[in-house]
Amino acid sequence: MQQGRKVSRRMTSSDPVLTANLITGRTIEQGVAIEGWKDKQEYIDAAGFVHIDPSDFKTLNVWPGSSVLVKSEYGEVVVRAIKSPYGPHPGIVFIPMGPWANQVVNPDTTTTGMPSFKGIMVTITPAPGKKVLGAIELIKMTTQGGVEV
Amino acid sequence: MSEILVKNGYVYDPKNGVNGDVMDIAIRDDKIVDAVSPTAKVIDASGKVVMAGGIDIHAHIAGPKVNVGRNMRPEDKLFNTSKRGKMTRSGGGFSVPSVFETGYVYSRMGYTQANEAAMPPLLARHTHEEMADTPLIDQSAYTLLGNNWLVMEYIKRGEKDKLNAFVAWMLHATKGYCVKLVNPGGSEAWGWGMNCVNISDPVPYFDVMPSEIISGLAEANEALNLPTSIHLHANNLGHPGNYQTTLDSIKLLEGVLPRDGKIRDQVINFAHMQFHSYGGTTWKDFETEAQPIADSINKNKNMTVDVGFVTLDETTTMTADGPMEYYLHNTNHLKWANADIELETAAGVVPYIYSPKISVCGIQWAIGLELALLIDDPMQAFITTDHPNAGPFRRYPRIISWLMSNQARLDRLETLHKVVPDRVAIGGISRVFDFYDIAKMTRAGPARALGLGDMKGHLGVGADADVAIYNYNPKTMDPTTDPAGIEKTFKNTAYTIKGGDIVVIDGEVVSKGNKRTIWVDATNGSMDPAVLDDIEKKFVRFYSVTMNNYPVQDEYVARGLVVKPEVA
Amino acid sequence: MRTATDVVCPFCGTLCDDIEVDVDDAEKICATRNACIIGDNKFMTAQAPDRHLHPRIRRGGELVESTMDEAINKAAEILVNAKHPLLYGWSSTHCEAQEAGMALAEGVGGTMDNTSVCCHGPSVLAIHTVGISSCTLGEIINRADIVLYWGCNPVNAHPRHMSRYSLYKRGFFTERGKSDRTEIVIDVRRTETAQKADIFLQPEQGRDYELMNALRVAFRGGPLPESVAGIPRAEIEKVAQMLKDGRFGILFFGMGLTMTRGKHRNIDIAISLTADLNTYTKFLIMAMRGHYNVAGADQVSLWECGFPYAVDFARGFPRYNPGESSATDILARKEADAALIIAADPGAHFPIDMVRTLASIPMIAIDPHVTPTTEIASVHIPSAIVGIEDAGSAYRMDNVPIRMRKVVEPPEGVLTDQEIIERIHRRVMELQGLEVPEVTAVKEPAEALAPSAFDDILQRAT
């Protein structure tokens, strides 16, 4: 990406869209964050991002670390876009397991009990100005938030 | 204090020479006593058979490979689940029942003790967790030592004192009851996909022979004066023509006497001998060789066997004999599980269908019965199915009906594959056992072989108050013509009393029981530092757990009963 | 200050048991040795000043602190009033608590499920079909010369796995450690695990089954197309030969196979592939279990009722049908009318659709920490951390049982998982009008020097 190049802040039909195959899984940082950090910024940093192959980053045309909207048939979520250190894997994007990934994964277990946490078709678009929500905020916002007995 | 008086039963108590006499049995708390007060609870046993609680000397009922079997076979529960009751937990499984089911089925059959025949030391904690969770029956577990690296190294180097100390350490660390050998050397060879078929096949790298492992551990066993002898699952199990290997193994300890002849008579118990009495060269000309094996046992009074009767059921085979299970998998092509244990042993699990329509299965069925009937003294041959390998333990009543009725055997033989009668001798053996013999094969015999003869398996004063009362009148009914009645009788007791607690009435479980785990401490409170050093080296370099995390903690044997052998 | 040794790390299925933990005179954990970054963090955050110590009940839309008795009573009421409660989690606690949970699930006629359902549940289904040929990790230390990681990433998920057991550790027949082994990695990304591999294959995502099938053909010398799953034929044939030529091989697999299209079929063929290889050499396979005691949850369930997970007690006897009786499917179908979640965090780790169901039914969450699950619960009961504040059994990924040690006392007033479950169960029995048995649980003190059951003899000898 060229220094100083201006990126449009307005969403239009010509805005970049990346279509990709999403997989989710563990990372060591995510492992650290799930023991006592789930209500804190550390968890957002550890699991609220998407790894995108450097070649696909060009399509997306955003700065590394900026917010993107990941959308699937099953939901959508705002996460930070990060260049994958594990490439090349063009066409494949990775979000660590956790509440962010689970907004968009395929809940169908095909009668095995196991939801489809890997191999979900998603579209990714820049989401300038959108904030990556905290885990608990995100769950409270996307569910009824619990019932009183 | 609680007191029970079992009145007017036909009592069968071989240890005390009581053969069907009408007697009262008095119980105070957990022991059998001379007499009780008039306020004792009275159980009317008139017209009923009274025996000590049954003892299963060899079954796979708790521990890692049993759980592998449960995991591998959900279908085993398909028609065999039971609801929870007032006193009972739910569960299920035909050939590999859940632990609750195991306790209930044994108790209903009048058994009060069942021993887990193969405990891998590294996974001993698992076996103990399951045993602690198994209700009603007393249990012990046999520690697998026949493929242990240190055992083989000490034997190779001839360091007998160190071997003794190590065996004592292992029994203590695993809270085990006896020295168990399974395919000695062969399961270590299986680490490389190999086997020791004969007792003279050297173990890869370790360069000792199975024969040396058997003799070496038998010697250590006597040096430590352990309550029971070594228990051997011999090499070459389940192959046509293997009776030669078995005879070779028998010869190893001919003439050797136990250190303390007062406790037991044998220096070796051959496990599931049925699987080791095979003739022929392939499955095509497979035939019985029970006669030479029985002859050999009759000659050697210092040996016992548990038979391992084939019951002709669909079952789940499981053994520490890893190569054998792989062989079986390649024979029947059913699913195969394997679990090799570092430095110690191996295990395999394969489902098996003993179909009455298949000649081999029919011949196996006959071999088990022939062995039992050809061994003169029932105190040398015990009823087992090597549960669940030759059949599930819940079939013991059926086996007893075959042993008590020649007609029942002939009727069954007729339904088997047409070549079976030509390959077996069972058709010509008319011997039948009576209740006294059955009490020897399921009570007095196993108790004595386990070195528990004073405490278990009899109804004399001072024995544990483990009593089974069966609805069968031996004076008016004839077992030789009534196999169905015998099977029904032994399936559900009128009463089972365990440790002075009535646990079963008319086949219904009525108590949560007072089970105990029995184990042996032969360390005498000390340990050779050089041996500890050897053990520590193994842990630092080759084990995947630390030495401090290896021994089974006392928490797992909270209801334990420790046997401490005396060494003069 | 004191140091607890031989401490067992309560995080992942590697279940490292060589951790040393320093505890200062104020009974604060101040340092650990030998643990990985995740394990160290777990010990170091255990006593964080902001840890929640009081039960909370949802009132007026907020979780409000309550007494323990109130919370236990409310939890029992929720379970007793439910027609089909779901009891889920169980993987980050010890077997003793799991056993108490089995009794509770049976008592309330609920469904008992553990996190296998979203990790190695498909592997269990495959074992039902074809069995599994495996071993303990020490066998790999001492013998393995071919180590194949397929769809797993131990560097991230099981950080000490490679150094303790599978790759670098020097063993008896593998005296030179890594130099005696060939590392093969098959993954859709070049993960840290893959970056160091001797051989790395990067198949197309979701095509592992085809690649395994191709390997099985290659073992037999059968014909293959130009490429399978994006891997050229020559590569496949080369790897097939390597697998056959090894003296002792091991295939480790993870979520890359169980969560991908094909699910249990991927494991089915992976197991069949290793079984095939035993014709030529010794080759075994092992699942990389995630939670430190998820394997134990399977084991306890197996020995108590015969089935490993997803067991429905609604009819008074165990019924097992993953896909129907699994926690995920029950929630997806909105079938549960109450839930008890313990030692797991489905709020964070289930697809949001299922979490929505959880958030719309009365739900009890038992967890030492604040998590997405606890924050949508009706009742939250914080518990002691097993392996740090409570002792008990756990099963490593290779089903080796190790006793978790208790390093420090739990905070004042905080109960253990087992105590909480047993107290709820006793209250449930009262509400059901049943006779409540006597309490049998015994509390153990924290161990100063982590003595073993054999220390008396060790000491006498030295």
Alpha-carbon gap, residue B181 to B145, rounded angstroms: 6
* Domain C121-287 coded CATH 3.40.228.10: yes
Q: Give A 61-100 residues with CB within 8 A of chain C.
A: 74-75, 84, 86-89, 92, 94, 97-99
- The chain-wide mean pLDDT, for chain C, equals 94
Alpha-carbon gap, residue B80 to B82, rounded angstroms: 7
The token pair at B175 is 């809270």
pLDDT score recorded for residue A15 = 77
Residues 6+ positions from B170 with CB-CB distance below 8 Å: B121, B143, B145, B148, B176
Which H or E run contains B20? strand B18-28
Closest-CA residue to C171 (of C133, C136, C132, C134) = C136
| Residue C51: count of CB within 10 angstroms of its CB | 16
Alpha-carbon gap, residue C311 to C324, rounded angstroms: 10
Alpha-carbon gap, residue C333 to C363, rounded angstroms: 17
Q: Does residue B453 or residue A11 have the better pLDDT?
A: B453
Q: Do C306 and B551 touch (CB under 8 A)?
A: no
pLDDT tens string C339-388: 999 999 999 999 999 999 999 999 999 999 999 999 999 999 999 999 99
3-state secondary structure of B502: strand
Question: Rounded to 5 degrees, what are φ and ψ at C56?
Answer: -135, 145
Beta-ladder partners of B315 = B352
Q: C256: pLDDT confidence band, cut at 50, 70 and 90?
A: very high
- Position B559, amino acid: R
Q: Domain spans of chain C? A: 52-117+292-431, 121-287
Which H or E run contains A69? strand A67-72
Fold (CATH) for A18-139: Barwin-like endoglucanases (2.40.40)
Contact C249, C148 (CB under 8 A): yes
Q: Which CATH class is domain B52-449?
A: alpha beta
Give the best residue of C116, C155, C259 to mutate against chain A (max A CB count within 10 A): C259
When pLDDT is averaged across residues C139-166 and rounded to a whole number, the result is 97
Q: Do C191 and A112 touch (CB under 8 A)?
A: no
Peptide bond into A88 cis (omega under 30): yes
Q: Do B126 and C299 touch (CB under 8 A)?
A: yes
Q: Do C303 and B340 touch (CB under 8 A)?
A: no
The token pair at B52 is 């000590």
For every residue of C386-441, DSSP letters joined together read BTTTB-EEEE-TT--EEEEPP-SPPPTTPBPHHHHHHHHHHHHHHHTTPPPPPP--
Alpha-carbon gap, residue C253 to B486, rounded angstroms: 52
pLDDT score recorded for residue A2 = 39
Question: Rounded to 5 degrees, what are φ and ψ at C457?
Answer: -75, -40
In the predicted model, residues of chain B with pLDDT beneath 70 are 568
pLDDT tens string B220-258: 999 999 999 999 999 999 999 999 999 999 999 999 999
Burial class of residue B24 in the structure, from the number of CB atoms within 10 Å of its CB (0-12 exposed, 13-18 middle, 19+ buried): middle
Question: Rounded to 5 degrees, what are φ and ψ at B395?
Answer: -90, 5
Q: A4: pLDDT confidence band, cut at 50, 70 and 90?
A: very low
CB contacts, 8 Å: B74 with chain C: 128, 306-307, 320
- Position B457, amino acid: G
For every residue of B49-94, DSSP letters joined together read EEEEPEEEEEE--SSHHHHHHHHH-GGGGTT-EE---SS---EE-S
- Interface pTM, i.e. ipTM: 0.96
pLDDT tens string C1-58: 999 999 999 999 999 999 999 999 999 999 999 999 999 999 999 999 999 999 999 9
When pLDDT is averaged across residues C100-125 and rounded to a whole number, the result is 97
Is a pLDDT exceeding 70 seen at residue A3?
Answer: no
- The chain-wide mean pLDDT, for chain A, equals 91
pLDDT score recorded for residue B526 = 83
Which H or E run contains B22? strand B18-28
| Residue C314: count of CB within 10 angstroms of its CB | 14
Q: C444: pLDDT confidence band, cut at 50, 70 and 90?
A: low
Q: C89: pLDDT confidence band, cut at 50, 70 and 90?
A: very high
pLDDT tens string A98-119: 999 999 999 999 999 999 999 9
3-state secondary structure of A80: strand
No. of H helices and E strands in chain C?
19, 22
Contact B237, B280 (CB under 8 A): no
pLDDT score recorded for residue C448 = 39
Give domain C52-117+292-431's CATH number out of 3.40.50.740, 1.10.760.10, 3.40.50.300, 1.10.490.10: 3.40.50.740
Q: Do C139 and B342 touch (CB under 8 A)?
A: yes
For chains C and A, having 3+ Cβ pairs within 8 Å is answered yes
* Structure-token match 């076996």, residue found: B127
Pairing verdict, β C85-89 and C111-114: parallel
Radius of gyration of chain A (CA): 16
pLDDT tens string C374-402: 999 999 999 999 999 999 999 999 999 99
Q: Do B129 and C461 touch (CB under 8 A)?
A: no
- For A116, nearest residue in chain C (alpha carbons): C259
Percent of chain A with pLDDT over 90: 86
Radius of gyration of chain C (CA): 23
CA distance A13 to chain C (A): 29
Total CB pairs under 8 A between chain A and C: 217
* Structure-token match 């001797």, residue found: C198
Closest-CA residue to B185 (of B225, B214, B158) = B214
For chains B and C, having 3+ Cβ pairs within 8 Å is answered yes
Percent of chain C with pLDDT over 70: 95
CA distance C17 to chain B (A): 6
Residues 6+ positions from B106 with CB-CB distance below 8 Å: B54, B56, B112, B114, B136, B137, B393
| Residue A59: count of CB within 10 angstroms of its CB | 16
Alpha-carbon gap, residue B259 to B225, rounded angstroms: 6
Q: Do C298 and B349 touch (CB under 8 A)?
A: no
Q: Domain spans of chain B? A: 52-449
Alpha-carbon gap, residue B398 to C220, rounded angstroms: 47
Alpha-carbon gap, residue A142 to C125, rounded angstroms: 32
Q: Which of A99, A114, A119 sits opposite C118 (nearest CB)?
A: A114
Q: Do A84 and C332 touch (CB under 8 A)?
A: no
Q: Does residue C243 or residue C456 have the better pLDDT?
A: C243
Q: A14: pLDDT confidence band, cut at 50, 70 and 90?
A: low
Give chains near B: 3+ CB pairs under 8 A: C
Radius of gyration of chain B (CA): 22
Give chains near A: 3+ CB pairs under 8 A: C
Q: Give B 87-116 residues with CB within 8 A of chain C.
A: 89-93, 96-101
The token pair at B274 is 């049925």
When pLDDT is averaged across residues A63-87 and rounded to a whole number, the result is 96
When pLDDT is averaged across residues C92-101 and rounded to a whole number, the result is 98
Q: Do C37 and A74 touch (CB under 8 A)?
A: no
> DSSP secondary-structure letter at A53?
-
pLDDT score recorded for residue B567 = 76
Largest Cα–Cα distance of chain C, in whole Å? 70
pLDDT score recorded for residue C445 = 52
Alpha-carbon gap, residue B87 to A63, rounded angstroms: 67
- Angle at which helix C95-108 crosses helix C417-431, to 10 degrees, equals 20
Pairing verdict, β B3-13 and B41-44: parallel
SS (H, E, C) B175-187: CCCEEEEECCCHH
Total CB pairs under 8 A between chain B and C: 223
Closest-CA residue to C161 (of C350, C334, C14) = C14
Closest-CA residue to B351 (of B337, B366, B367) = B337
